[in-house]
Each structure stands twice: as structure tokens, then as C-alpha cells.
Amino acid sequence: MAYLFLDDSKHHRFGFSLAAFVICETDPTEEISSIFRKYGYEPYTFEFKSSTKMQDDTDLQRLRGALKNFIGRRCKLAVCIVNDDKSLGPAALKLLHNALEHPRLTGKRHEVFFDEGLFQSRRAADALVEKDKALQECQFHFEQDSRNVLGIQLADIVAHTCSTMLIEALGLLSKTITVDAPNDSVYHGLEVELGFEMWADIRYAFLSQNKPNPKDDFDLANVDVYPWGLFIDDSVDEWIAATAMERFGENYLGCIH
């Protein structure tokens, strides 16, 4: 059994919206609660939102870093991209259909939690699930309050992170940051692109499989994310769809030093 949590990030002015699943092998609630308390935040009272300004808030930055570290070490993730955010819920179910064919998830029962507002109604969501036999083994929890379901707050981080990565890949964002990693002599103090830093934090978490017939060592270091960890809806503009496939369709896991 796995626990899957979905949240979204809307970017109408850039022509897309994105939703992300965070996939945990066990219920992450206790561990997330412990992380919150470690940095001085009370779960169920405080809600982490990636959209919150954190520039001058060291504690919030540390909390974000700890949650991203948890995702990178303990979770898997999958993303879907649509043009109109009204399609996010249905597209996420199509992504889930593909994800359930991954060896990590196939043939098992799972608990699946969706944030609020991703379907026209709970009844509409249930109707879509009933039409897909592959989804029948899952227990769905639609219209969940992210303040009460802490795993959805992890999905918020991934949705925001992957959206920023896509916006940068589209050439619509150009920002560099200085790496603060005292234990890494190669990267500490280095100025890198924001999208690279975001990708480096979560690159091992994408739901993926090894390429079936790698041609060389570089191919061996790349894994296929599509179709298990990526779904691009037909509504997406061709340019955005092609960029999203290039950015997320496969993933490099080799050395980046």
C-alpha cells in the first residue's frame, strides 16, 4: 500500500496549470508533524504554503528545506500538466492510471487524497473513478482540507517546484541563486540557475524506470519518467507540451559535480 497526495499550482499567464502527486510508502503524517515542530510550527494550526514570501524568514526557509529533503529521500512524485485548471482533477486521474502500472504501485491497494476544488463536485470525481477499472483498487478521498491532511502540503511543494522548473524551461523566468551548502565543497557559494537547484533537490524522487535498451553510459544514467510519472493533457499548447516532455519526460541520475 502507498499513500498518494495531490495538489496543484495554477499559472494562467504562462498558459498552463500543473498538479503533482507525492507518493509515500507509509502514512507520512507523524514524520511531517515532527518536522513542523522541530522548526517551531504546530501542525494543523500552521499550514505550509509555497506561495508564502520567505525571503526574510529563516525559520520558514529551514522548514521548506527540511520538507523538500523529506520528499527527496522518502517519497516519489508524478506530475500532470493541463491548459485549463478545470481539467486538473480528470488529468490527475489519468496520471494515476499510468502511475499504477509502475512496478512500485501495481497490484496493490492505495489511499489517494486530493486537495479541494479539483473537480466540479465529489460526485463528478466518483463518476470518473467508476469509469476506470484500473482505479478500482484505490480508496479515494476527494475535497480534502490541506490543513488537516499534511501530505497535501508536500504535494504543494512539488507542484510549485515543478511549475517553476517548467516556467524556467520555457524561457519565461531567469533567476540565479547562491548555493548554501557548507558540507559540499563543490557547490557551496556557487551561483546556479534556480531551476537547476530545484531539480537537484528532487531528481531522485520522480517515478521512473530504467531505459530498456541503454545505448551507452549516458543512457544508463538517464531514466524514463514518462508515462508513469508524467501526463500531458491534449489541451496543452504544443510548445508547452514539448518543453514539458523535454524537462520531465526523462531524468538524469548521474553525477552532477
Confidence (pTM): 0.91
CA angle 138–71–214, rounded 5-degree value:
85
Tens-digit pLDDT string for the chain (257 aa): 999 999 999 999 999 999 999 999 999 999 999 999 999 999 999 999 998 888 888 999 999 999 999 999 999 999 999 998 889 999 999 999 999 999 999 999 999 999 999 999 999 999 999 999 999 989 999 999 999 999 999 999 999 999 999 999 999 876 665 555 555 554 445 455 656 677 888 999 999 999 988 877 788 889 999 999 999 999 999 999 999 999 999 999 887 65
Question: Is there a contact between 117 and 79 (Cβ–Cβ < 8 Å)?
Answer: no
Helix %, strand %, coil % of the chain (to 5): 40, 25, 35
CB atoms within 10 A of CB 135: 17
Phi, psi of 52 (to 5 degrees): -65, 135
Question: Is there a contact between 122 and 114 (Cβ–Cβ < 8 Å)?
Answer: no
Residues 6 or more apart whose Cβ sits within 8 Å of residue 47: 146, 147, 153
Residue 25 identity (one-letter amino acid): E
Residues 6 or more apart whose Cβ sits within 8 Å of residue 50: 9, 64, 156, 157, 159, 160, 161
State residue 54's pLDDT score.
85
State residue 214's pLDDT score.
80
State residue 175's pLDDT score.
66
Question: Is there a contact between 5 and 21 (Cβ–Cβ < 8 Å)?
Answer: yes
State residue 178's pLDDT score.
55
Cell reading at 44: 494543523
